[in-house]
């Protein structure tokens, strides 16, 4: 799975992702190919939850208003089994609505059961 290079390094700078040498950075293409375990954390939603928490903090700082997210996003299951993806994405889909991002039931099923990379990347980027 690949991420945009700016998003990848933003996540590293925040401490959400470790700059793992196994990830392949292609500056010319502006992309980073994630190593298997990092791809898995993206697919199971762990990295999505971290990005949502980071964006939440930015919203609060800029708007000076409360912006709540379910605390479960901070402790999503870091496993590659379908049950963990179902659990994680069940919370993520609900919380994404607060960012005005809507994921249909069909899209959620594609993410959980088919590892729909394009949908996940659309959410991130």
Q: Which of 61, 65, 119, 63 is nearest to 92 (CA)?
A: 119
pLDDT tens for residues 75-124? 999 998 999 999 999 999 999 999 999 999 988 888 888 766 666 666 66
Q: What pLDDT, on the 0 to 100 scale, is given for residue 110?
A: 86
Q: Is 45 exposed, middle or buried (0-12, 13-18, 19+ CB in 10 A)?
A: buried
Domain boundaries, the chain: 2-124
pTM for this entry: 0.85
Whether residue 125 has pLDDT greater than 90: no
Q: What pLDDT, on the 0 to 100 scale, is given for residue 1?
A: 85
Q: What pLDDT, on the 0 to 100 scale, is given for residue 113?
A: 84
Tokens of 66: 């409360």
How many angstroms separate the CA atoms of 116 and 108, rounded? 9
């Amino acid at each position: 799975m690949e991420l945009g290079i700016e998003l990848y390094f933003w996540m590293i700078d925040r401490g959400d992702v470790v700059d793992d040498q196994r990830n392949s950075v292609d500056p010319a293409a502006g992309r980073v190919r994630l190593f298997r375990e990092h791809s898995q954390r993206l697919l199971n939603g762990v990295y999505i939850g971290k990005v949502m928490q980071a964006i939440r903090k930015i919203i609060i700082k800029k708007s000076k208003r409360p912006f709540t997210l379910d605390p479960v996003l901070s402790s999503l299951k870091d496993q590659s089994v379908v049950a963990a993806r179902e659990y994680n994405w069940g919370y993520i889909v609900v919380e994404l609505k607060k960012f005005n991002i809507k994921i249909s039931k069909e899209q959620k099923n594609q993410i959980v059961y088919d590892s729909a990379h394009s949908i996940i990347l659309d959410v991130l980027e």
